[in-house]
């Protein structure tokens, strides 16, 4: 598709207030290609997740997919915002009460009833792809099934709000409304973000908000929307490794993420599985 301004001339990429980068249709196509590498990896990880598999095994899949496509990891070597060690893997693997940024390990063996969030990011031809899925391991509890379902639905509700003329608060509120109606806690310590040539660009995309507030969405914006929903309290703490965020009450957490472009035709989910 081609974006146009009011005069009908070919749309020219620009920077909005706050440093938000608007992407051209060609740039969005490039981001789609990067995100399809991410989608392939997450599909392969989903097929591999089963009792007895280690989270390090899942990270190996990330390396294999990167090599296949000549892409770079957006996560490996990412600087720690708190000044600690850089992230040491290609996939974030967060198990059960781990919310995000879990580090793959040979010592972490998945067992029946676990849930594992797998977050993967790539850089392909200078553009970032970013997405996450939480997978059930074997047969999980009814509570875990409901948490996964509600988190997926909160992401779908947010994506539905990614339309020209809506505001960022509409997107954030959609997540909050779905999750809190089911009695779950919405994590506020971590947020979604704009994405493009860098993994984290303006604007921040919180998972709570008031409808009708915030930045007005324009064609060319690309948002990484990522609900992190806890079974209990939304409170979090970070482990001694400097990365892994866990629920304060040790209850389950789920995380789903898509990179979504704002277009004149509605939301385009760049990281959707083909």
Mean pLDDT by 10 residues, the chain (274 residues): 35 70 98 98 98 98 98 98 95 98 98 98 98 98 98 98 98 98 98 98 98 98 98 98 98 98 98 92
Strand partners, 14: none
Structural domains of the chain ordered from first start: 17-269 (3.90.230.10)
* CA dihedral sign of residues 250, 224, 118, 75: negative
CB atoms within 10 A of CB 214: 20
What is the pTM (predicted TM-score) of this model? Answer: 0.94
- Given strand 236-238, what is the order of strands in its sheet? 98-100, 245-247, 236-238
């Amino acid at each position: 598709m081609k974006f146009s301004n009011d005069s009908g001339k070919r749309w020219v990429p620009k920077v909005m207030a706050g440093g938000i980068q608007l992407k051209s249709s060609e740039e969005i196509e490039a981001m789609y290609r990067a995100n399809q590498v991410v989608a392939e990896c997450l599909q392969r990880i989903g097929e591999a997740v089963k009792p007895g598999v280690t989270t390090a095994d899942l990270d190996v899949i990330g390396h294999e997919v990167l090599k296949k496509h000549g892409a770079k990891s957006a996560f490996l070597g990412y600087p720690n915002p708190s000044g600690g060690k850089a992230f040491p893997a290609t996939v974030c693997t967060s198990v059960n009460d781990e919310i995000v940024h879990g580090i793959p390990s040979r010592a972490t063996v998945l067992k029946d009833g676990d849930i594992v969030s797998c977050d993967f990011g790539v850089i392909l031809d200078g553009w970032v792809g970013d997405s996450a899925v939480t997978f059930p391991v074997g047969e999980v509890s009814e509570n875990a099934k409901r948490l996964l379902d509600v988190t997926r639905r909160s992401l779908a509700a947010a994506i539905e709000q990614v339309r020209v003329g809506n505001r960022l608060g509409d997107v954030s509120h959609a997540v909050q409304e779905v999750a809190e109606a089911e009695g779950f806690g919405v994590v506020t310590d971590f947020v979604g973000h704009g994405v493009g040539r860098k993994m984290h660009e303006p604007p921040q995309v919180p998972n709570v908000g008031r409808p009708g507030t915030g930045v007005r969405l324009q064609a060319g914006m690309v948002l990484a929307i990522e609900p992190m929903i806890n079974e209990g309290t939304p409170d979090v703490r970070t482990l001694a490794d400097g990365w892994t965020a866990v629920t304060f009450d040790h209850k389950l957490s789920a995380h789903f993420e898509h990179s979504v472009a704002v277009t004149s035709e509605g939301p385009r989910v760049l990281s959707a599985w083909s």
